[in-house]
Structure 1
Amino acid sequence: MSVIGKSGPSIRFRGRSFLAMTLVADVPMEPWFADFDIWLQRSPGFFTGRTVVLDLSGTAANKAEVERWIRELASRGVRLIGLEGVKPSMVDAAMPPVLRGGRDATLAIPDEISAPVAEPAKPAAPVEPVNLLVEQRVRSGQSIVCLEGDVTIVGSVGAGAEIIAGGSIHVYGTLAGRAIAGATFGAKSRIFCRKLEAELLAIDGVYRTAENIDDAFRRQSVQVWIENDALRLAAL
C-alpha cells in the first residue's frame, strides 16, 4: 500500500520595518515621571495605540529597576514593544525584548559574554518628503498624523486637537491645540502659525507647554524652531 504524504501549511516570513517612538528615560526617576505626568495631562491619549521603545541607557543598574520603569509606564497606559540600553541578563521572558540596530553599535550595551553580532543595515531614510494638505478646520479631539513629511493646515486647529508631522507644521489660522513637529526629520523642522494659542509646541522631542510660552507671542504670527537644544519662538 502506498502512502501519499500530505504537505503541511506553508509558513511565510517577511522582513518589515516599522516606525517606533523611543522614550528616553532619565534619573532621578521621580522628577522624570513628574514631568511625564504633566505631558500626559496636556496630551491625554498621546501614547494610545503607539509603538513605544524605552531607552534606559545609563538609568537602570539591575533587573529590579528595569521592572520598575516598565511597571510605572504601564500604570500610565504606555505599552512597550522593546527596550534599549540594558543588558539581556536584566530582562526575562515576561518583559519586552531588548532591541538592537536602532542606534550606533558603539552605544549598544552587550552582556558580559556574547557572540559577535553583525551590524544590521541601516534603514534607508525617506528620499523625498510626502506632505499632507488639510483644507479644513481641525476640530477638538481630532488628530492629524503625517510622519513622512510636512503638514499644512489651511484653517485653524482647535483646542484639544493634535497635529503630528515628520517634518514641519504650517497653520494658516489659529493654532490652539498641540503641534508636534520633527517626529521623523528631527531638529531641522519648524512650526509656523498665523495666530498662536497653542496648548503645546514640540520639535524633535523638545517642547513647551502653554505656561512656558511668553504672552508676547500670544495671538501673534509665530515661527518655532530649535537652537542650542532649546525651543525658540519669534514673531513673523
Structure 2
Amino acid sequence: MGAIARPTHQLVRMRGRSYVAFVFCPVVPIAGWLEEIDASIGHSPGFFIGKPVVLDLSAVDLSQTAILHLVTSLEQRNIRVLGIEGVDAARLSSDMPPLLTGGRHCVLTQNEPKKPEVKPKPISLLLESSVRSGQSVFTEGDVTILGSVGSGAEIVAGGSIHIYGTLRGRAMAGANGNPAARIYCQKIEAELVAIDGHYQTAEEIDATMCDRPAQVCLEGDIIKITPLN
C-alpha cells in the first residue's frame, strides 16, 4: 500500500514594523480642546491626514459615550485614531479603536539605585541632496541635510535638524521627548516647525526671520526662532 500524501502548509510570514505616531492628550473642557485642534488644522490643513494618531485619555475621566463622541469628532476632522491608551478597557466598546499598551515614555522613573545603563547613541543621518515635496524622513538621532527641504516635505528627528539650504516644508525635532533639540537652517520659509511636540506654523513665524539663517529652540513651552549668527 502506497504512502498517503499529506498536504503541506505554508507558514505565515510576520514582520515587525514601527511608525512615528502623534499622541493627542485631550483636556477638559473637551469642546475647548477641540477648538484648539480646529485652530491647528486651520493653520495647516491636511497635516494630520494619513498620520497615525494615539489618543491618551489619562488626563481626563470620560464615559464610554463621551469617548466614542470624541473619537467621532476627530474622525470628522479627518484625524484617524489608531489606538487609545490611558483608560480602562471596560470603557472601550468593540466599535472603538483598540486599547494600546507598552508605548515608550519620554521620562524614565527610577525607584531604586541601579547601575547606570549605557545606551547606544542614536545614529546621525546625513543626506547629501535636497528632500523633495512629498518625501518624509524619520530618524532617531540628528539629521543633517546638505540641500533644502521642499514644500510638502517632512523631517522628523529624535535629535536636532541641520539644514544647509532653505526649509520650506515641516521640520519636527526632539520627537522622542528631547526639549533640548534644535532646528538650524540657512533660510526659513517653513510650513511648520516643532520641538518636543510644541510647534509654530507658517502664519506664526515672524516675517523678519525669512531670507536669513535661523535657529529654532524651545524655551519652556514656547518655540523661539532667532537669527543664526
TM-score bracket, shorter-length normalisation: 0.7 to 0.9
Partner of 1:158: 150
Q: Which ranges of structure 1 fall in alignment gaps of 5 or more residues?
A: 105-123
Identify the match of residue 131 of structure 2 among 130, 134, 138.
138
Distance 1:125 1:177 in 2: 35
Distance 2:16 2:118 in 1: 15
> Retained in 2: the 8 A contact 1:42–1:200?
no
Distance 1:143 1:60 in 2: 39
Partner of 2:65, secondary structure, is helix
- Residue 32 of structure 1 and its aligned partner are, at CA, apart by 2.2
Partner of 2:101, secondary structure, is coil
Partner of 1:57: 58
The answer to whether structure 1 residue 210 and structure 2 residue 202 are counterparts is yes
Share of identical aligned residues, percent? Answer: 43
Partner of 2:112: none
Give the partner amino acid of 2:123: V
* Structure-2 change in CA distance of 1:132 and 1:43 (3 Å): farther
Distance 1:86 1:34 in 2: 23
> Retained in 1: the 8 A contact 2:147–2:164?
yes
CA offset digits 1:134-178 (Å, max 9, x no partner): 333333x32332232222221222333322222211111221222
Cα RMSD (Å) of the superposition?
Answer: 3.1
Partner of 1:18: 18
- Residue 7 of structure 1 and its aligned partner are, at CA, apart by 8.2
- Residue 103 of structure 1 and its aligned partner are, at CA, apart by 6.5
> Retained in 1: the 8 A contact 2:25–2:59?
no
* Structure-2 change in CA distance of 1:127 and 1:41 (3 Å): farther
Q: Which moved more, 1:23-32 or 1:60-69?
A: 23-32
Give the partner amino acid of 1:158: G
Distance 1:206 1:95 in 2: 28
Partner of 1:231, secondary structure, is strand
* Structure-2 change in CA distance of 1:174 and 1:208 (3 Å): same
* Structure-2 change in CA distance of 1:94 and 1:77 (3 Å): same
Partner of 1:194, secondary structure, is strand
Partner of 1:235: 227
CA offset digits 1:40-63 (Å, max 9, x no partner): 344444434433210012334201
Partner of 2:71, secondary structure, is helix
Q: Which ranges of structure 2 fall in alignment gaps of 5 or more residues?
A: 106-116
> Retained in 2: the 8 A contact 1:56–1:84?
yes
Q: For 1:189-200, what aligned pairs fall within 5 Å after superposition?
A: 189-200=181-192
> Retained in 2: the 8 A contact 1:167–1:185?
no
- Residue 224 of structure 1 and its aligned partner are, at CA, apart by 1.1
> Retained in 2: the 8 A contact 1:176–1:199?
yes
Give the partner amino acid of 1:25: P
Distance 2:118 2:91 in 1: 32
Give the partner amino acid of 1:47: F
Q: TM-score, normalised by structure 2?
A: 0.77
Q: TM-score, normalised by structure 1?
A: 0.75
Identify the match of residue 149 of structure 1 among 141, 158, 167.
141
* Structure-2 change in CA distance of 1:38 and 1:218 (3 Å): same
Distance 1:221 1:100 in 2: 42
- Residue 221 of structure 1 and its aligned partner are, at CA, apart by 1.2
CA offset digits 1:58-83 (Å, max 9, x no partner): 33420111001110111222222221
